Chain A
Amino acid sequence: MADLRIKINVDYDDFSLSIDQQISLTGITGIFGHSGSGKSTLLKVIAGLDKDAQGQLLINDTILFDSQAKTFLAPQQRNIGLVFQNSRLFPHLTVEENLRYGQKRKKNNVTNKPLDFSEIVALTQLESLLVKSVAQLSGGEQQRVALARALLAEPRLLLLDEPLSALDDQNKILMLTLLEKVQKQLNLPMLYVSHSLAEIQQLANSLLVLSSGKVSHYGDIHQVIHQLTTDNEILHQTSLSLTVKEHLPAYGLTSLVLAEQQILMALNDHLEIAKQARCIIAASDISVTLHEPRESSIVNHLQGIITGFNRCNAQILLTVNCSGQDFFVTITAWSANRLSLVLEQSIYIQFKANAVRILR
């Protein structure tokens, strides 16, 4: 398993970045932060486009740069791909020539078998566009060409710098689906930078959060989102990956598995059985009862234990662990008093099928 070891300092007049973090290069790692948090600078340092950084950067045992040893691998020698926010296609070349540009210059990759040009073209749905000039392409098409061009250079790591920010909603969804497919099919590790947590939540399996040039959180995506929730940094929500069990069209429901319990959501027959589905449940959509609500119209009720009790203003944010999964629940201080809720207490949480929102 590949690792990216980052130990860097970047100092500008008005901004500094200081990171000491090991990142495991599996699947898609989201890098989230507000503008000015340093996420784009971090990406540039990894790519080799920012030469002012001090410190060390390694992929496994390969030194990308080491400022003390005065080694600096030029961007073209790093075998790292980068998809920019603006596609940066070469205007004097056709779509096919753009794609071939990276392919012709790829580093010899002994371990993997070479990528098939037409396979990547088919994957990115560019067959009909190959002969076109890049000026004739729409924004979504340009970004697909940029992605395919980066893939054909066969990088060992693909960086994505806000790749969806210039696209409309329809193209965003298309591109997200594509990225997930590409990641699975090529087993290519990706670092995905975005200021939109919703975007990262749909794609990434781990998450690094940057705040004023420092790493504030890093880990499994759902865990980090839970931490962000407890720290009041984002809207309170429970983020889950659940296995799709079955569709119940007669009831208009889809059933999901959470350990030995089940969660029902509004029917979504686009979801494949036995595959993972990403969903979120807003903390305000969940309520708490002391006894199992057998005679309720609310379809989901799970047994759990209160593991967190945080007061913010007149609201209480409860963390309830059900079958190993933390759920966030907001209730009023009044309700908390009335039910005399305490830590470690066994309770039931309940929420409607409609409260479960599928991210994609």
Chain B
Amino acid sequence: MSNSHPDMLALITTLKMAGLTTVILMLIGTPLAWYLAKMQSRAKVFIEALVALPLVLPPTVLGFYLLLLFSPQYLPGQIWQQATGQQLAFSFSAIVIGSVLYSLPFVVQPLQKAFEQLGDDLLEAAAMLGASAIDRFFTIVLPITKASFITAASLGFAHTVGEFGVVLMIGGNIPGETRVLSIALFDHVEAFDYAQAHIISISLVICSLILLSLIYLLNRPKKSQPVLSKRFS
């Protein structure tokens, strides 16, 4: 495939979209997961359900509502257009925002579980030794839950690469802007170009398999590594 090949361009768009989405997801997902892990009010289940919604909803449903919101007829779309001078629907920004919402549970859930498991004991101990909240996050939380952070980022990335419905609804099929691999694949199948479809498909299967294997390898319990022992409590 040459550089100018449309599928190559789709690959670059896909990686750009998934990369940016993952960065945003980690920035939003970490505090959200922390908040949910520490939250005790009854609203917690509702927020958890809201975050988990993309797991069960057809992506096209999410895409449909986002399409409406992003269009200039609605307030979010209007604000965006006034601020940037460009229409939000059918843009690269639109598919990134859509991906963030769509992949949110894949980042929030492993992090929330890790934070819940970590508990308050070590954080209280660190505070009593003079560590501030930010200090505690970087010296206690991050090193101990490192594997969960890598899992969350990898799942968020992989799931974004694999998305189709949302992008189709709100991105359309603009080369270099919103035409990602899953859309390109769909085009090839529509055009009966099975050879190209195979190349994309098998590459996605192999890459996803490698990525998931790495995640499972990382999360395999190691005997030598000290686990959070609760031997006294």
Tell me whether A and B are bound partners: yes
Q: Is the CB of B226 within 8 A of A88?
A: no
Is B229 interfacial (CB 8 A cutoff)? yes
Of residues 172 through 230 on chain B, the ones whose CB sits less than 8 Å from some CB of chain A are 226-230
Asked whether A294 is an interface residue with its Cβ less than 8 Å from the other chain, the reply is no
Residue with the greatest number of chain A CB neighbours at <10 A, chosen from B129, B131, B143: B129
Most chain A C-beta atoms within 10 Å of own C-beta, residue among B130, B143, B228: B130
**Contact string, A62-94, partner B, CB cutoff 8 A, digits 1/0?**
000000000000111001111011111111100
| In the complex, chain A residues whose CB is within 8 Å of the CB of B131 | 76, 101, 105
Contact assessment for B128 and A80 in the assembled complex, using a CB-CB cutoff below 8 Å? yes
Interface assignment of A6: CB less than 8 Å from any CB of chain B = no
Q: Which residues of A contact B227 (CB under 8 A)?
A: 91, 135
Decide yes or no whether A24 CB sits under 8 A from chain B. no
CB within 8 Å for A90 and B124 given contacts A134-B226, A153-B129: no
Answer yes or no: A156 CB below 8 A from chain B CBs: no
Assembly CA distance A159 to B130 (angstroms): 15
Report the interface size class on chain A.
20 to 34
Nearest to B142 among chain A residues (CB) is: A92
Q: Interface residues of B, CB < 8 Å — how many?
A: 24
Spot the interface stretch: B12-20, B103-111, B132-140: B132-140
CA distance A150 to B126 in the complex (A): 10
Asked whether any CB of chain A lies closer than 8 Å to the CB of B144, the reply is yes
Given contacts A85-B232, A139-B232, contact A101 B124 (CB under 8 A): no
Within 8 Å CB of A86, what residues of B?
Answer: 121, 230-233
Kindly state whether residue A107 has any CB partner on chain B within 8 Å: yes
Residue of B nearest to A44 (CB): B124
Q: Are A139 and B231 in contact (CB under 8 A)?
A: yes
Cβ 8 A contact of A90, one of B122, B127, B128: B122
Question: Contact: A76 with B232, CB < 8 Å?
Answer: no
Give the interface SS of chain A, mostly helix, strand, loop or mixed.
loop
Q: Is A102 an interface residue (CB 8 A)?
A: yes
Q: Are the CB atoms of B129 and A49 closer together than 8 Å?
A: no
Indicate if the CB atoms of A150 and B129 lie closer than 8 Å.
Answer: yes
The residue among B126, B132, B144 with the most chain A CB atoms within 10 A of its own CB is B126
User: In the complex, which of the residues A79, A84, A107, A166 contacts B125, with contact meaning CB atoms closer than 8 Å?
Assistant: A84
Counting chain B CB atoms within 10 Å of each CB, the highest count among A79, A86, A153 belongs to: A86
Interfacial chain B residues near A102, Cβ < 8 Å: 129-130
* B229-A91 in contact (CB<8A): yes
A349 sits at the interface (CB 8 A):
no
Residues of B contacting A303 in the complex (Cβ-Cβ under 8 angstroms)? none
A118 CA to B179 CA, complexed, in Å: 63
Is the beta-carbon distance between B125 and A88 smaller than 8 angstroms? yes
User: How far is B228's CA from A129's CA once the two chains are assembled, in angstroms?
Assistant: 20
A320 at the interface (CB under 8 A from B): no
B126, B127, B228, B232: the one contacting A87 at CB < 8 Å is B232
Q: 0/1 per residue, A16-53, Cβ < 8 Å to B? A: 00000000000000000000000000000001110000
6 A/B residue pairs, CB under 8 Å, sorted by A: A80-B128, A86-B121, A86-B232, A90-B140, A101-B126, A105-B131
Binding site for A on B (CB under 8 A): 121-122, 124-132, 135, 139-140, 143-144, 226-233
Question: 7 shortest A-B CB distances, which residue pairs?
Answer: A86-B232, A105-B130, A135-B226, A102-B129, A88-B125, A91-B226, A75-B127
